[in-house]
Structure 1
């Protein structure tokens, strides 16, 4: 009864009789106390602190006392489980400690486990379980409670990305927990990541940054931060969609087939093609004035009413967004089918005229070339003929002059020095089968022509005695022949001129006249 009354007391006085009873030790064989070394719980969840005594037959567990062992502060009572009076919770844990649901049979060993509700980081530490039995005495065991603080990651986008920038921060991901979480990135975008950690008294924070070189191909791509931690059932993933500001070049479509742009055509349109981030706006203008009446601009499309000649002109599409602007222009020429056919005929006629003119010019050029070449060759032939006649005249004059000099030479020559190989008549001097004459002028020039030999032979015939001379004055004719032959010598059956200053060289074989 005193124990029961003590159980109803509040404060440290209620624990004294129980602790005294638990400190009694017997001489009976000892049982076994089962308690894990480490109990892990996630912040905010309930922590079950197990303590199970397996004793021998006839042993009875009187009570189980739980206390927290704090370094330098002594034991702080957590709870007391009595076989008869039930659970008593210490003031510091009032409303947070209770008995868990029984796991064994009712007549089984006393399970001294307690349930600590809504665990916080302050609950982390060492706890002592003391079991008092009869008659074996008391047993104790220690376990460590670890409270996991799962991280709450946050993803922070970097500054605005623009195409053309260098290495730029795309996003940073921060996670804080106990123990320190692991932060990685999952993306198909090419980039670099770096991490740094900050230690706190009860937790650690990790920040990871992802940097890249912005390009338009990255626009709309996902960038995912992955946080793993023992307190998480699965990895936490935070996804950020990249937005890269850019503006593509502008181009206008619709004039691929210029023949379709004819007067009267309906539904003609021009479309301006471009893309960008943020989405661009389109503005249509006409270079040489305002847009014609009936022409409508609807975003990237410019619509025309039935085409007329006034729709011809230069149209400009201007594309712009917050980053930049681009322009593209096209020239629209609305064709008149009738005028086009007339122009085609005129073009054919003009082509024929041009071809005819070119052919006429080429013909005239050919005639001029032929005339010039004919005149050139005629003039060249005249020059050659004139030169030939001049040379022939000079040669003839020299030959006549030298022949006269031979006949007028008063010197006498010995008769035996003349050896003509004549076969019949002294006219053998006229034989010109292979003779050629080369005459020398006082200046040293020589001429060699067959005509000169013939002229010499003609002169020789004029000077030679006629047949009448033999009949009328035979002796005078013989005297003349002897006088002429006195200028030659006979060697090996040929006549060779004597070395005098008045000799005439006829050809390369040594014939002299």
Structure 2
């Protein structure tokens, strides 16, 4: 227990074991022998937070049953072993002074790993060793050496990490010298005699021996000139996005450090894709589908707007016509001959005379006297 006491487990003979807090269902008693006064505590699913000092308190009543119970205790230091990660080596080279600093680190262990150095198989002393506590409470072991690098001597430096949780020591090594390019790999890798397809994404990797120090830098060239605009280089990798036919050619990788350089190359052939669809895609490209949908929606919108305008215009025209306005009579053009028209007029005049009522003439002769004269009949007059 670290700091304040924290109860883990309580047991009374003849009763059940009771566990507390984070130890519930993880703490138990084993090998309990009341006669021999032996009891062992078992912690399952051990955690890093279980580290600390544990105290076993045993109490007993006096033989007479009176007085305060008697207690005795014992302390046990518990260390929960946490195996660290495999060691890694970082380098820092000063080209002006020729000084090379190597730092070996084994992260997140408990306790911290024990680190030692070998040069070409022979032990050498570390210039500095530290154990750094991380925010989670783990220990990072770190060891540093500094040597004068010389191109006349190629040396191998090895860091050895030992830990109680390791069944065997873990090792990491670096070699001081000039880089050597073994190959330039192509991904996707075309079958012999076949080419890559247009719009493929291509990755070229410059392969050098592992653990060379100082760390080499890499330079890429296309047909001894500049790289395509779609190519991006990062360390020993070159990525060509949506490759084009004109990207065909020889790609050269040069790895170099202060002790020398080496070159490797790879030739790639890119052929035109007939359907212009990237490999692995089938059917209509997504961009084409989106374009078709947008075009259809635009046509529908235009039709709706035209229909609305026509409807509004029709409504406006209907409002302009008064509801009770008489219609103008249509002009009738007669096609009858002039002679027939005259004869028809005469007949109409005769009929009109016959239909007119007889005219009555009233003459008055003095007061109270009136004379009625009948209009003479035209036929009788004749």
Task: Indicate the TM-score class for this superposition, using the shorter chain for normalisation.
Answer: 0.3 to 0.5
Q: TM-score, normalised by structure 2?
A: 0.37
Q: TM-score, normalised by structure 1?
A: 0.29
